[in-house]
Amino acid sequence: MEDKKDDKIQLSEMFMAQAGVNRRFYGSIKRGYAEDGNQIVWGKILVNNGFICSMAANQDVLGARLDELVKLVLDEGLHEDEGVTSEVADTTCFLN
């Protein structure tokens, strides 16, 4: 008899951040719960050569935060300043 393997399905939600009409970037969001039991939404979007990440209590607040981060990266050069870095899971993360 053949062994049954459990199919592991992972759902991802696509999310968009924009900084104007023609500047849109897509990424994914994950939903979960904070230690206090409240729901959180975490988003990660690739903008040019770097990622922007944010967390919020709901997707409306998350969307507003990610929109502002996209504007900071594109218009204010947020990722151009190396600033302070930290190693997280063998990845260099910029703390700016």
Sequential pLDDT tens for the chain (96 residues): 555 666 777 777 888 888 888 889 999 999 999 899 999 999 999 888 888 899 999 999 999 999 999 998 888 877 776 677 788 888 877 776
The rounded distance, in Å, linking the Cα atoms of 25 and 46 is: 7
At 38 the pLDDT is 93
Query: What is the count of structural domains for the chain?
Result: 1
Residue 86 included in any domain: yes
Residue 41 included in any domain: yes
Q: Take residue 23 and report the two structure tokens written for it.
A: 């500047």
DSSP secondary structure letter of residue 76:
H
Residue 49 included in any domain: yes
Tens of pLDDT, residues 58-76: 999 999 999 999 998 888 8
At position 84, the amino acid (one-letter code) is: V
Residue-range definition of the domain harbouring residue 26: 13-94
At 3 the pLDDT is 58
